[in-house]
Structures are given as C-alpha cells and as structure tokens.
Amino acid sequence: MTRKLYFEDAFQTAFDTKAVKIETREGTPWLALEGTLFYPEGGGQPYDTGTLRYAGQEAAVVDVQVDEAGVIWHKIALAEGASLPETGEVVAGEIDWPRRFDHMQQHTGEHIIANCVYRLTGGFTHGLHIGQEVCTIDISLPDKQTRLDEKTLGEIETLANQKIAEDGIIRCYFPKKDALPDLPLRKDPTVEDNIRVCDIGGFEMVACGGTHLSRASQVGLVKILYAQPARGKLRLFFLCGLRAARHYALCYTAASQAASQLSVKEEELPQRLAEVLKQAADTRRELGALLRKESLAKVPALLADALVLSDGRRVVMAELEEKDQPAMEAVAKELIAEKRVIALLCVPAQGRYNLLFARSDDLDINLNDFIKSTGAKGGGRPEFVRGAADDSLPWEAAKVMAPHF
C-alpha cells in the first residue's frame, strides 16, 4: 500500500520518495512510489498531475490511479531518450498546485452545498463530478422529485456562502471505529474499514477520502448555475472558488456592457431588455403585415400574366422575391381561389429553391405526383404541395412541363 502524503498535508506540493515498482500497460509506463502527494482519481475528484525528477531527468505525471490493494500508480510521459527510475531510486515529486487547489475548492465547496441541500430539502447527494469547467452532483429528493424552484436554489446558495463566510476549521481524520456511531454524519460511509471523516466547522460531517481545504473561507464563493432532472434525480450544476469568481467577473462584464448600451443600471437590465424584445417583436409583426400586404398585391398581375391553356385553364408560373417567402402560402391561396387556376410558385432564398404548387378545387390534377416528377424533394396533398431543391433544375423542369397539364 502506498503512503498517502496528501492525507498528511493537502497543501504540501513537493516531496521525496523512492520508486518501488514499474509496470507497462499498453506500451505506457506506470510507476508506484513508496509515498506520494499525487491524488489518484476517485470520488468524483480528478487525479493530480505534475512532475517527477530523478538522476538528472524529469518525467511528467499525466494520470494517477489506485488499485484494489491500495497501491497508487503514476502514469509517466517520458521525454525522448529519457529512461525510467530504477527500483529503490530516490524520486522527487511536485504536483501541479493550481490544479490541486482548484480541485480542493470544488470538492470542499461541494460538501458545503450538499449539506445545505440536505438541511433545506432533505435531499441525499450522490456522485460528485468535477469537470474541467463545471461541477455536478446528483440528488435524490423526497417523494421522487426531480426539480427545485429558483427560490429554493437561491436559498441553498445563500446558506452555503454564509457557511463559507463563517470560516469554520476543516478537520480530516480517522476516528476510532467505536466512535463512528456517535458522529453526526450526513450519510453512511461507503466502506467499513479505515473510514476517514471530513468535519467542516461542525456544520458538515461526512466520510470522505478526497483532498480538502483547511478552512471554509478558502472556498471563497459558491455559485449554483442551474439544476435539471437526470435519470430520476436532480442534477445540480455549480462552481466554487476561483471558478465562481471568474464566472462572476465574466457575467458582470457582460451585464455592464449591455446595460451601458441600453443606458440603464445593471439591476434594470432585465426589465429594459424585456421592453426592447417586445418592441422588436411588435416591429417584426408590423413589418410582416406590410410585407404580406405587398406580396398579396401582386396577385392580380400574376393572374393577368398567367399561361392560358387550350381548355381555358390558367397556369401561373412565378419566381417571387425572398421577402415574399413568408406570404408564399397566402399568395397561392389567393390565386387558387379563382376557378381553374394552377399556381406554380418559386422563391430562391439562401441558396435553396423553395417551391409551392397549388390548384383550384375544380381541377383534378395530382400535384404531389407532379412535384416528384420534377426531381424536387417534398410533397403534400394532391391539391397543395411544398418542396425544395438545391439548384434550379426542378423549377426549370416544372415550367417546361406546365403547358402539358
């Protein structure tokens, strides 16, 4: 079993030890050390990375895992021409401290959030996942609920930040087995032996084998982003520490810039934005009505220019403008309101040819078959079909075949 130096001092960044065993897995070397500060992946917390130095050489630690026997293995990336340390050789290790400290902030912050969730909702927290950008926990809520309203999420966040500000001392230790039943653990341990307890200011107490901060205030800040149902549970997305601070700075900068552009204070931004969006929607509706009116005004001219077949049927073939597309169906209906009319309409827009073919009710022509014969993709009812093409060939084919209806 490897000596877990990170249990003895989670803030220590460098250490000296000895190489005890080397394995090769899929062509990659893995090294076991007598003792290590490198935390192995587990409990939702990612592994540490860093460097190992020995005999004038340096190797990168790119992954850390622990086996069932408690041996911690370090995946090594060697520089070209470098060699591995010999068994028993002294090795100097150094962890990537910014990465470790970030994980400690996320992990400790999660403990505080989970306890607040339990106190305010009775929810039981399952797996933690510390992602590269966002962290999540899954929560089983009473009565199989899978949602929490914004008010409750806000209360959880407020309580968590209050506990951080109270700056409780964080103590991680291995209590005697007979003392465990008397401890106010938030949930039962998942192991039976060597149970390590994390106590955060007497507020939060749970069994945990991760790395933690020494005081609650070192978490700095927690921010709940949102929550959503996930596999019968509630999944909570959050940030802690410097991640939360960066998120706040990003959001504040964006809000300040938007507020400046709208000539309001940041706190007035939601109301002003709602007003602007309403004004834009009203303007779009007014513009749409004007464009529709303009499109429909073309109907008399389209009928006047229609191709008149030998039996008196009229075929309207028209390539309309892109601005006519929203009113395309309305134009077609106006045309076929006349007797014995076939309307073949096309609107080229954004590199596609949008087709709409329709006929009067007093005609017996299957336009569904007709549009397919042009090579266009689409279909519909015998009297009214839509289609589209990536080029003009189907539209040109429709115009060529139209006189032969």
Same domain, yes or no, for 108 and 215? Answer: yes
Same domain, yes or no, for 183 and 241? Answer: yes
Same domain, yes or no, for 151 and 276? Answer: no
pLDDT at 79: 84
pLDDT at 289: 95
Which of 48, 79, 95 terminates a domain? The answer is 95
Same domain, yes or no, for 35 and 125? Answer: no
Which of 41, 61, 95 terminates a domain? The answer is 95
Same domain, yes or no, for 222 and 324? Answer: no
Same domain, yes or no, for 209 and 241? Answer: yes
Tell me if 50 sits within 8 A of 40, measured CB to CB: no
What CATH number is associated with residue 136? 3.30.980.10
pLDDT at 261: 95
Same domain, yes or no, for 51 and 17? Answer: yes
pLDDT at 318: 95
How many of the other CB atoms lie within 10 Å of CB of 322?
11
Q: Which residues of 7-24 are buried (b: 16+ CB within 10 A; e: fewer)?
A: beebeeeebebebbeeee
Same domain, yes or no, for 335 and 247? Answer: no
Same domain, yes or no, for 104 and 244? Answer: yes
Positive/negative CA dihedral, 191, 197, 202, 205: negative
| Total tally of structural domains belonging to the chain | 4
User: Would you state the structure tokens that stand for residue 166, as one six-digit string?
Assistant: 């109270």
Same domain, yes or no, for 139 and 252? Answer: yes
Q: Judge if pTM exceeds 0.75.
A: yes
Same domain, yes or no, for 331 and 186? Answer: no
pLDDT at 9: 96
Distance CA 349, CA 352 (A): 5
Domain that holds residue 121: 100-258
Which of 241, 271, 292 terminates a domain? The answer is 292
Side chain identity at 268, as an amino acid letter?
E
Q: Which residues of 288-315 are buried (b: 16+ CB within 10 A; e: fewer)?
A: eeebeeebeebbeebeeebeeeeeebbb
- List phi, psi (to 5°) of 168: -65, 150
Angle at 358 between CA 357 and CA 361, to 5 degrees: 160
What CATH number is associated with residue 391? 3.10.310.40
Per-residue H/E/C for 170-229: EEEECCCHHHHHHCCCCCCCCCCCCCCEEEECCCEEEECCCCCCCEHHHHCCEEEEEEEE
Same domain, yes or no, for 67 and 215? Answer: no
pLDDT per residue rounded down to tens, the chain (405 residues): 999 999 999 999 999 999 999 999 998 999 999 999 999 999 999 999 999 999 989 999 999 999 999 999 999 999 888 899 999 999 999 999 999 999 999 999 999 999 999 999 999 998 899 999 999 999 999 999 999 999 999 999 999 999 999 999 999 999 998 899 899 999 888 888 889 999 999 999 999 999 999 999 999 999 999 999 999 999 999 999 999 999 999 999 999 999 999 999 999 999 999 999 999 999 999 999 999 999 999 999 999 999 999 999 999 999 999 999 999 999 999 999 999 999 999 999 999 999 999 999 999 999 999 999 999 999 999 999 999 999 999 999 999 999 988
Distance CA 177, CA 183 (A): 11
What CATH number is associated with residue 34? 2.40.30.130
